[in-house]
Amino acid sequence: MTEFSRIEEKVRAGERLSYEDGLALFLEPDVLRLGSLANWVREQRHGDRTYFNVNMRFEATNVCEASCSFCAFAKLEEGAPNAHTTTHEAAWKELAEFPDPRLSELHMVNGLHPTLPFEWYEELLRGWKRVRPSVHLKCFTGVEIHFFATKFGMTHEQVLSRLKAAGLGSLPCGGAEILHPDVRQRISTDKANGAEYLAAHRAAHRLGIPSNCTMLYGHIETFEHRVDHLLQLRALQDETRGFQCFIPLAFHNENNSLRKLPEPTAIDSLRTLAASRLLLDNFDHIKAYWVSMGIATAQLGLRFGADDLDGTIVHESIYHSAGSRVPMALAREQLVRLIREAGRIPVERDTTYGVIEELPRAAQPEAALKVRERFAQKRALSVVSGA
Partner 1 sequence: MGKVFSRALERAGLTDLHSRALSGESLTRAELLRLEAADLLLVAGLADAMRARFRGDEVRFVRASSARELDLIVFKGVASEHGATGAEVLRELALLRLSTKPSTGIAVSVEALGLELAQTALLFGADTLIGDLSNARTLPLLDGAAARQRELAGLVARSGRRVTFAEPEPVLEQRP
| Site of interaction with partner 1 (CB under 8 A) | 4-5, 8-9, 12, 29-33, 35-37, 39-40, 253-254, 262, 265-268, 270, 294-297, 299-300, 303, 323, 337-338, 341-343, 364-372, 375, 381-387
Min. distance of Cβ 230 from partner 1 in angstroms? 19
With respect to partner 1, which residue has the nearer C-beta, 42 or 156?
A: 42
Min. distance of Cβ 111 from partner 1 in angstroms? 26
The continuous run of DSSP H or E covering 293 comes out as helix 290-293
The DSSP bridge partners found for residue 308 are: 51, 287
The DSSP bridge partners found for residue 287 are: 308
With respect to partner 1, which residue has the nearer C-beta, 32 or 96?
A: 32
Contact 50, 339 (CB under 8 A): yes
With respect to partner 1, which residue has the nearer C-beta, 291 or 338?
A: 338
Min. distance of Cβ 170 from partner 1 in angstroms? 30
The DSSP bridge partners found for residue 75 are: 63
Strand order in the sheet with 136-139: 55-58, 105-108, 136-139, 168-170
Burial of 235 (0-12, 13-18, 19+ CB in 10 A): exposed
With respect to partner 1, which residue has the nearer C-beta, 97 or 387?
A: 387
Picking from 293, 312, 227, the residue whose alpha carbon sits closest to that of residue 301 is: 293
Positive or negative, the CA dihedral 239, 240, 243, 249 is: negative
| Nearest-angstrom CA–CA distance, 59 and 48 | 33
Min. distance of Cβ 306 from partner 1 in angstroms? 13
Min. distance of Cβ 303 from partner 1 in angstroms? 5
Contact 93, 127 (CB under 8 A): no
Burial of 351 (0-12, 13-18, 19+ CB in 10 A): buried
Q: Do the strands 136-139 and 285-286 form a parallel or antiparallel pair, or are they unpaired?
A: unpaired
Min. distance of Cβ 369 from partner 1 in angstroms? 8
Min. distance of Cβ 276 from partner 1 in angstroms? 17
With respect to partner 1, which residue has the nearer C-beta, 145 or 291?
A: 291
With respect to partner 1, which residue has the nearer C-beta, 272 or 351?
A: 272
| Nearest-angstrom CA–CA distance, 62 and 206 | 29
With respect to partner 1, which residue has the nearer C-beta, 45 or 164?
A: 45
With respect to partner 1, which residue has the nearer C-beta, 145 or 227?
A: 227
| Nearest-angstrom CA–CA distance, 316 and 206 | 30
CB atoms within 10 A of CB 150: 15
| Nearest-angstrom CA–CA distance, 226 and 250 | 12
**Helices within 97-222 (DSSP H only):** 118-131, 142-152, 156-166, 181-187, 194-206
Side-chain half-sphere CA neighbours of 32 within 13 A: 0
Min. distance of Cβ 5 from partner 1 in angstroms? 7
With respect to partner 1, which residue has the nearer C-beta, 123 or 263?
A: 263
Min. distance of Cβ 370 from partner 1 in angstroms? 7
Q: What are phi and psi of 57, to 5 degrees?
A: -90, 150
Picking from 299, 310, 293, the residue whose alpha carbon sits closest to that of residue 348 is: 310
With respect to partner 1, which residue has the nearer C-beta, 40 or 120?
A: 40
Min. distance of Cβ 42 from partner 1 in angstroms? 11
